[in-house]
Structure 1
Amino acid sequence: MSSIPANYLALFQPYMQEPPVDVLGCARAAGLEVYSVDLPNGVSGMIQRTNGNTFECYVDASEPSVRQRFTAAHELGHFVLHRDSLGQTHEDNYLLRSDGMTNWQETQANRFAADLLMPRELVAEAVEGGTTNVSELARLFNVSELAMGIRLGLKT
């Protein structure tokens, strides 16, 4: 079962048909623009309120693309699941932890990111199609080997 609410899952479906999932398309569909910029040391991503209930997401341009994708998906998770808890600016450090969110909210955002970037159905299709190596799966889904290993239940 996905941690992504059904209404958003339906909205994201056009961007989740095949790997790698178009995380920027999903974010735009939800009303969140994502920008890759230089962020302060130790900050991997942030969401900033720009006007009323309008937000923008920023990911650290100096981090590897797989990390930027996961961070964008994690921040999109906060936007979808925890929008009422977001203040003017919400920052996540390199461990994707924030002073403004509980450990449970951070865990929810991480699950959301994993479900978005590595949908279980697409991972299963890839494995059934013969892609069984963690490195190959990570490349196919454009995620880190660590993230794919966790998704497959190989790493905790």
Structure 2
Amino acid sequence: MARIGVYELPPRDPSASLWDRVGPVEKALIEPFFVGPPVPVGGIAHALGIDVLSSALRSDISGQIRLRPDDNIYEIKVNIADPPVRQRFTVAHEIGHYLMHRNEIDGDGITDTILFRSKLSDRKETEANRIAAMILLPWEAVINWAESIHDSKISPLLLQDIAAAWKVSALTVGYRFGF
């Protein structure tokens, strides 16, 4: 599907099977935020009962999620030195870990490097990345938005417009559309 300017927007979400693994309670809390650009990832975290903090982390650390032992609340820390678009992706990525790998988050948590590497397997990091892209770019909302301002052809301009409006990187847009 991947040559820009040649193909139409995909008719269905290439990551739908992963979203199907998210629990119905979590979906019910998250999906009301899927209305338009940009998706308020902090609001999603709050709805899930997760605290989000901007922190001075080492330069090689983008973020982490942990279960605080004192109050049993999940906490996401994002690197305050990262650009806002990166911080948004990091919050969504850590929410992905919460949704998909919650049983592996303990007091030590999961710490992700700038390349989104952690103590988890590459497969689990990929799942968290895919969930992050799904949260930041909800399929139907993005497709409807894109078709309202562009034709359905994928073009560099469309990808740039999606990235700007939805406050994500071009890499996230490409990842979401599968190229």
Please say whether Structure 1 and Structure 2 have the same fold, judged by a TM-score greater than 0.5.
yes
What is the aligned-residue identity percentage? Answer: 38
Taking CA–CA contacts closer than 8 Å with sequence separation of 6 or more, which of the two structures ends up with the larger relative contact order?
2
The alignment covers a number of residue pairs equal to: 153
Gaps of 5+ in 1: none
**What is the aligned counterpart of 2:147 among 124, 128, 135?**
128
- 1:148 is the counterpart of 2:142: no
Q: Distance in 2 between matches of 1:81 and 1:103?
A: 14
Gaps of 5+ in 2: 1-15, 151-156
- 1:32 is the counterpart of 2:50: yes
Alignment of 1:102-121 (within 5 A): 102-121=121-140
Larger-Rg structure? 2
Q: Distance in 1 between matches of 2:25 and 2:132?
A: 16
Q: Distance in 2 between matches of 1:9 and 1:64?
A: 28
Alignment of 1:20-99 (within 5 A): 20-51=38-69, 53-89=72-108, 90-99=110-119
The corresponding residue for 1:11 is: 29
Task: Tell me the TM-score normalized by structure 1.
Answer: 0.90
Q: Is the contact between residue 69 and residue 107 of structure 2 (CA under 8 Å) also seen in structure 1?
A: no
Q: Is the contact between residue 60 and residue 114 of structure 2 (CA under 8 Å) also seen in structure 1?
A: yes
Distance 1:2 1:33, change over 3 A: farther
Q: Is the contact between residue 15 and residue 26 of structure 1 (CA under 8 Å) also seen in structure 2?
A: yes
Cα deviation 1:119-145 (Å, max 9, x = unaligned): 111111122112462111101111001
Q: Distance in 1 between matches of 2:130 and 2:102?
A: 16
Aligned to 2:18, what secondary structure does the other structure show? Answer: coil
Q: Distance in 1 between matches of 2:54 and 2:37?
A: 21
Q: Distance in 1 between matches of 2:17 and 2:55?
A: 30
Distance 1:57 1:114, change over 3 A: same
Q: CA RMSD in A?
A: 1.6
Q: Is the contact between residue 2 and residue 115 of structure 1 (CA under 8 Å) also seen in structure 2?
A: no
Cα deviation 1:86-117 (Å, max 9, x = unaligned): 12222000011102x11111111111101100
Task: Tell me the TM-score normalized by structure 2.
Answer: 0.79
Q: Distance in 2 between matches of 1:58 and 1:141?
A: 22
